[in-house]
Amino acid sequence: MTTSDRDQLIDMGFSPERMYGEERIFMKETLKGYVTKNAGLQPAMDWLISHADDDLDETLGGSSSGTAIASGSGTNNAEQEEGEIKAGEETAQSLKCDDCQRLFRDAKAKIKAQIEQDKRDRAAKREASRKAIEKVAAEEAEAAAEAAKAPKPSKEYTEARLQFRQTSGPSITHTFQATDTLQTVYDFVAEQIFEPFQLITTYPRKVLDGDDREKTLKELDLCPSNVLMVSK
């Protein structure tokens, strides 16, 4: 391969470090004989494109001097995208990214870097979306737990529907106001039964009499309905 061939490849955007260094590539028999078989520019360009990501030292059996070159200033550091170059390394084929303002050796490198950046952006959006969904779910679960702990407001009943069961005789049902006293209930039952009696709740079993007669049906927990036994 001639010097003009190398110059053309460099002008097309291929890194000079992959073209020559310490007389190890192209300028001796390594790449000419092993890779291109002295066929000229086109085979060399095809080979460089197909081995753009290869380590030339390893591929061509390079020496320690070649390793030094590969690890030198011409190699991208961990923070650079593949194909990214520094200021001062531009060639006729170099391109500048309008978004990130970074330099790339050619269109292929720029497009590849943009694809990788798009992948990272999409991954970041997916992660942000996942975290947002998890946050909303956690907030909803917390709100539900708080709502379950909150005491439920007791319903205000205005009436008490009472059923009176006798040991003998039919049952009697009547609706009273929640503010009526137990004495009002006794008076009603007395009109139906003409003998002494007591009113008893079934569960829990309790005799309603004495001081209870001054309490309202709401205070005695007889709303909205209840069953009272009439004990004679």
What is the predicted pLDDT for the residue at 34? 44
User: The tokens 């001639």 sit on which residue?
Assistant: 2
What is the predicted pLDDT for the residue at 50? 67
| C-alpha–C-alpha distance, residues 163 and 161, integer Å | 7
Tokens standing for residue 155: 């319903």
Low-confidence ranges of the chain (pLDDT < 50): 1, 21-35, 37, 62-79
Tokens standing for residue 191: 């009109």
pLDDT for 195-215, tens place per residue? 899 999 988 889 999 999 999
pLDDT for 164-176, tens place per residue? 998 888 899 999 9
pTM of the model: 0.37
Spatial neighbors of 15 by CB under 8 A, at least 6 apart, are: 74, 85, 105
Q: What is the pairing mode between strands 159-166 and 225-231? A: parallel
Average pLDDT over the chain reads: 74
What is the predicted pLDDT for the residue at 76? 43
